[in-house]
A and B are shown apart, each in its own frame.
Chain A
Amino acid sequence: MAANATSYQVSPSEKRLALVFILTGFAHLLIGILMGLLQGLEHMGINLIPSMPVIQTYYQALSIHGVFNVLLFTSFFIVGFLGYMASYGFERPLASVRLGWVTYWVMLVGALLTDWALLANRATVLYTSYAPLKAHPAYYIGLALVVVGTLLLLLNLVRTYLAWRRERPGERIPLLSFGALVTFIMWGMASVGIVVEFVFFLIPWSLGWVAEVDPLLTRTFFWESGHPIVYFWLLPAYLSWYFLLPRQAGGRLFSEPLARLAFLLFIPLSLPVGFHHQFLDPGVSQGYKAIHTVLTFAIFIPSMMTAFTVLASLELGGRARGGQGLLGWVTKLPWKDPVFTGQALGMLLFALGGVSGLINASYTLNLEVHNTLFIPGHFHLTVGAAVVMTFMATSFWLIPHLTGRALWNRPLALVQVILWAVGMTFMSRGMSWAGMLGAPRRTMLGAATYREAAWNEPLELVGVGGVILTIAGILFFLNLVLTLLNRRPAGEVEVPLAEPLPEAGPLPQYLDRFMPWVVSGALLVLIGYGPTIFRLLTTMQTVAAPALNPF
Chain B
Amino acid sequence: MHVHPYERAWIIVSVALLMVFGVAIVVSSLSMGIQIPGLSARLAPVSPDGFASDEPWVRQLGPGRYEANVFAQMWAFQPSEIRVPAGSTVTFYLHSRDLLHGFKILDTNVSLMAIPGQVGKVTATFNQPGEYLIVCNEYCGVGHQAMFGRLIVEEPSATL
Contact = CB atoms under 8 A, between A and B. Distances in A.
Interface stretch (A137-145, A480-488, A504-512): A504-512
A280 B11 contact: no
B145 A448 contact: yes
Contacts of A89: none
Interface stretch (A105-113, A423-431, A541-549): A541-549
Interface string A286-328: 1001000110011011001100110010000000000000000
A444 B144 contact: yes
Contacts of A442: 137-139, 144
A312 B7 contact: yes
Contact of A505 (B1, B34, B111): B1
A219 interface: yes
Contacts of A448: 145-146, 148
A358 interface: yes
Contacts of B21: 297, 358, 362
A447 interface: yes
Contacts of B68: none
Interface stretch (B36-44, B45-53, B57-65): B36-44
Given A133-B99, A450-B148, A300 B14 contact: yes
Given A283-B118, A367-B109, A546 B99 contact: yes
Interface size range on B against A: 35 or more
A255 interface: yes
Interface string B1-23: 11110110011001100100110
Given A282-B115, A367-B111, A371-B137, A132 B2 contact: no
A278 B109 CA distance: 16
B28 A443 contact: no
A505 B2 contact: yes
A440 interface: yes
Interface string A30-62: 000000000000000000000000000101001
A57 B111 CA distance: 27
Given A280-B112, A281-B115, A438-B106, A132 B98 contact: yes
A200 interface: no
Given A371-B137, A444-B144, A255 B28 contact: no
A281 B1 contact: no
Interface in A420-460: 438, 440-445, 447-450, 452
B119 interface: yes
Most chain B beta-carbon neighbours within 10 Å: one of A57, A364, A444, A511: A364
Contact of A255 (B3, B37, B142): B3
A401 B77 CA distance: 57
A334 interface: no
Contacts of B37: 280-282
B25 A362 contact: yes
B144 A546 contact: no
B32 to A, nearest CB: 8
A286 B34 CA distance: 12
Most chain A beta-carbon neighbours within 10 Å: one of B21, B24, B74, B139: B139
Interface of A is mostly: loop
Contacts of A305: 7, 10-11
A363 interface: yes
Interface residues of A, number: 73
A214 interface: yes
Nearest to B150: A450
Contacts of A372: 104, 137
Contacts of B107: 438
B137 A440 contact: yes
A504 to B, nearest CB: 6
Contacts of A258: 1, 3, 7
B94 interface: yes
A445 B135 CA distance: 12
Contacts of A216: 115, 117-118
Contacts of B38: 282, 284-286, 289
A304 B15 CA distance: 10
Contacts of B15: 301
A503 interface: yes
Contact of A309 (B7, B32, B99, B120): B7
A12 interface: no
B116 interface: yes
Contacts of A363: 25, 29, 36
Nearest to A217: B117
A257 interface: yes
A543 B116 contact: yes
Given A59-B144, A282-B40, A505-B1, A371 B34 contact: no
B12 to A, nearest CB: 11
Contact of A551 (B10, B39, B115, B142): B142
23 contacts: A62-B139, A126-B139, A130-B138, A132-B98, A280-B37, A282-B112, A282-B113, A282-B119, A283-B117, A284-B39, A362-B24, A365-B25, A367-B111, A368-B111, A370-B111, A371-B138, A438-B104, A438-B133, A442-B139, A442-B144, A443-B144, A450-B133, A548-B74
Closest 4 CB pairs of A and B: A541-B117, A550-B141, A440-B137, A282-B120
Given A282-B40, A548-B74, A550-B142, 8 more contacts: A59-B142, A62-B139, A258-B7, A282-B115, A283-B118, A285-B39, A301-B18, A550-B98
Interface of B: 1-4, 6-7, 10-11, 14-15, 18, 21-22, 24-25, 28-29, 32, 34, 36-40, 74, 94, 98-100, 102, 104, 106-107, 109, 111-113, 115-121, 133, 135-142, 144-146, 148
Interface of A: 57, 59, 62, 126, 130, 132-133, 214-216, 219, 254-255, 257-258, 261, 278-286, 289, 293-294, 297-298, 300-301, 304-305, 308-309, 312, 358, 362-368, 370-372, 438, 440-445, 447-450, 452, 503-505, 507-508, 511, 541-543, 546, 548, 550-551
